[in-house]
Amino acid sequence: MCFRPTLTARAIWEVDLDDLASRGIRGIILDLDNTIVYWRKGEVLPKARAWIEAARQRGMKVCLASNASRASRVARVAESLAVDHVGRATKPFASTYRRAMKVMGTSPATTCGIGDQVLTDIVGANRAGLTSILVEPLSSRESPHTWLLRLVEKPMRKRWAGGGRPEKPGGKPTSRAE
């Protein structure tokens, strides 16, 4: 199913970079809002910044892809992290992910997409044939249309929290109790 993520984690800094490397991942396409920054903010959370830097030190490429209405904010955050970005992303369209892979010089088999929304980040990554990683949103504050999308994805997240769920990075099933 194209809604189901390959992996889940509470936050990007809990995604095991060794696990990604063992899966052959060389490129990471990252969402912005509520994944590495709070909604509409430009300050990257320190744990997210450290994780991205650790990925880069391992030789992994990182590219931001955001549906944020202000492309200049996405560009500023990407510049502050010294990573690439795809402006005017149109997730969940696979073309956004193909553009990011072209920038990074990676392929679907060597790229993962990480984000907090099932209907944009995960569906888009899955449609492009990537490893998809769903993280919990950093905050409940978000745009009205995202709030509506959350109503649709809520039953899916609930179902995955039970049996038959995606695996957590490192091969362990995800559980809220962990």
For the chain, the three-class secondary structure string (H helix, E strand, C coil) is: CCCCCCEEECCHHHCCHHHHHHCCCCEEEECCECCCECCCCCCCCHHHHHHHHHHHHCCCEEEEECCCCCHHHHHHHHHHHCCEEECCCCCCCHHHHHHHHHHHCCCHHHEEEEECCHHHHHHHHHHCCCEEEEECCCCCCCCHHHHHHHHHHHHHHHHHHCCCCCEECCCEECCCCC
Angle ∠(159,164,169) on CA atoms, nearest 5: 100
pTM of the model: 0.83
Report how many domains make up the chain: 1
Per the CB < 8 A criterion, the answer to whether 111 and 27 are in contact is yes
pLDDT tens digits, 17-31: 999 999 999 999 999
Tell me what pLDDT residue 68 has: 72
Residue 75 in any domain: the answer is yes
Could you read off the pLDDT of 59-97 as tens digits, one per residue? 999 999 988 767 788 899 999 999 999 978 888 999 999
Q: What is the CATH number of the domain that holds 155?
A: 3.40.50.1000
Domain that holds residue 119: 7-173
For 92-131, the pLDDT digits (tens) are 999 999 999 999 999 999 999 999 999 899 999 999 999 9
Is 130 domain-assigned? yes
**1 within some domain:** no
